[in-house]
Amino acid sequence: MNRRQFLFGISTASGVSSGAWLSFGAAQAALEVAYAGSMASLMEGPVKRAVAAELKLDLQGRAQGASGLAQLIASGAIHPDVFISVTHSPVDTVTGAGKTSGATAIASTEMVIAYSPKSQFAPRFAREPWGGFCKRRVSVSAAQIRLRIPKGETLSS
């Protein structure tokens, strides 16, 4: 996804047409965005600059756990213009509370694992990379990560 597609996703999610963005004068209006804390460096860096340059808005961010933000939005405690979550579950909470009419996935993510070559388990990880282990043994759902170990087997066997 490129920057223009991302910004279009933000403008669509907030319900404001692109023409309305251009009607602001020299002073930049604040765009209040609540987003998953893991996105803080992205949102406060390149996205904030892009919103200022292309949409002529001042992105005012609130970085926090997405589930907690969703609960605050659902309860009416906060009223951001845009809510961005890495997973869909918090968005379902906001939608279920009637605070938005829908959501659009604008990007995806992946889980990345790195290990220390100095770890006592490094020789084992080198023989069998975590990717292979996780694909066989880890089931990921929207709400939890569950490790499946067959009866009688341990992680060290």
For 67-135, the DSSP string reads: HHHHHHHHHTS---SEEE-SSSHHHHHHHHTTS-S---------------TTSTTHHHHHHS-HHHHHH
Residue span(s) of the chain under CATH 3.40.190.10 come to 3-96
The matching CATH number, chosen from 3.20.190.10, 3.40.50.1100, 3.40.50.800, 3.40.190.10, for 3-96 is: 3.40.190.10
Instruction: Quick: pLDDT tens for 51-108.
Output: 999 899 999 999 999 999 999 999 999 999 999 998 888 999 999 999 988 788 877 7
Instruction: Quick: pLDDT tens for 34-62.
Output: 999 989 999 999 999 999 998 999 999 99
**Which pTM value belongs to this model?**
0.59
What are the distances in angstroms from CA 135 to CA 73, 111, 129? 35, 12, 10
pLDDT at 22 over 80: no
More confidently predicted of 85 and 138: 85
pLDDT at 131 over 70: no
